[in-house]
Structures are given as structure tokens and as C-alpha cells.
Amino acid sequence: MTAPKILVLVGGISEGSLNEKLFNAIKVKHANDFSFEDFDIKSLPFFSQDLEADPPATVKALREKIKKADGILFITPEYNRSFPGVLKNAIDWGSRPYGQNSWDKKIAGVIGASVGNIGTFGAQHHLRQVLSYLNMHTMHQPELYLNASKAFDQDGNLSDSMVEEIIAKYMGAFKAWVTQNSFKN
């Protein structure tokens, strides 16, 4: 099989986002294993039911990318023990209009980086609850909770070999999860 196409949604939109750095580290190490697509979630308007039937082009582009992806990887920060609203906004757009849930039966992975000791545990489990409702097939194990306060150097490169190993283990399992599952659209 050719490299699976993975749509990556990064929930951190700030300059120097740790989660964006985590995505960059994954791209550097796993460029041959996957074909990565990204999507700028901050380009989306706030979700409104008034717009869902004839949404702006950026929403249509998100739906198209979800449709074409073999798998979706969510990389989320933790905000107040949950995942950021900007990521929920993107998920809500993809879920509508009613009866046209773009996430349905899509294969997913969830990882995340924060500066706290529980490394996005709270965020990931709130996110998993939402993905479950949307009928996504989210990989259960291994998990990847990253306290990234010391994981990257000044240039934003991964500087911790143990973290590199954990990421490699996760991405290996995720590749198998995406390629072996037969319940995708």
C-alpha cells in the first residue's frame, strides 16, 4: 500500500506552539511512512448553523480533506483540562449539516503536548469522548501524553531521544491501525 494519507489537525494555533513542534518532529521522522496533509483550523469562522447549509470555502476545503484522508491525527494542547475551543470549532464544522457527518467511520489518533505533568491527559480524554460520538475509530493504545516543557531545543527541534522513541512507537502503531482497519469509508 502507498503511504496512508493522514490529515493532521493541530489544536495549538499560537506562534511557537508546542503541538506544532510535535507535528514538525513527526513530519521529519515519518515523512516516508505517511503522506501528511494539514489544515489551518484558525482559517475557519466560528461555527454557526446559519452558515452550515452553504458554508464558506474554507469549510468546504476541510470537509474535502476529511473525505480524502485515510486517517485523521489530532494533536491537541490542554486548555483547562480539556481541548481548545478552536479545535472543537473545526470538529463541529466537520460534523454538520445533520446527517452529513464527515468524521463518520474515519480512523483517528489522538496525541498532545502541554507544559503540565499530565501532558494533555484531560484534553485527550475529552476529545476522545467527542470522537466516539462522531463514530470515529480512534486508536486506543499506545497513548502519547507529552509534557513538552523540555522536549524541544531553541530551534524547535526535538532534543529528547526518549520522546523520539515514544513518538516512533506511537506512529508505528498508528500506521498499522490505519492500514489494517477495514471499516473506513
**Closest distance between ligand FMN and the C-beta of residue 158, in Å?**
14
**How near is the Cβ of 24 to ligand FMN at its closest, in Å?**
11
Give the contact letters, 85-124, x = binds to ligand FMN (CB under 6 A), - = no: -----------------------------xxx--------
Q: What's the min distance (Å) between Cβ of 9 and ligand FMN? A: 12
Annotate 105-153 with DSSP letters as a single string.
T-EEEEEEEESSTTTTHHHHHHHHHHHHHTT-EE--SS--EEE-TTTB-
β-bridge partners, 9: 74
Classify strands 5-10 and 137-138 as parallel, antiparallel or unpaired. unpaired
Q: Considering the rule CB under 6 A, would residue 70 count as an interface residue with ligand FMN?
A: no
Nearer to ligand FMN, 81 or 105 (CB): 81
- Measure Cα distances from 75 to 54, 92, 135, 152 in Å: 28, 17, 19, 16
# binding residues, ligand FMN (CB under 6 A): 13
Q: Which residues bind ligand FMN (CB under 6 A)?
A: 12, 14, 17-19, 77-81, 114-116
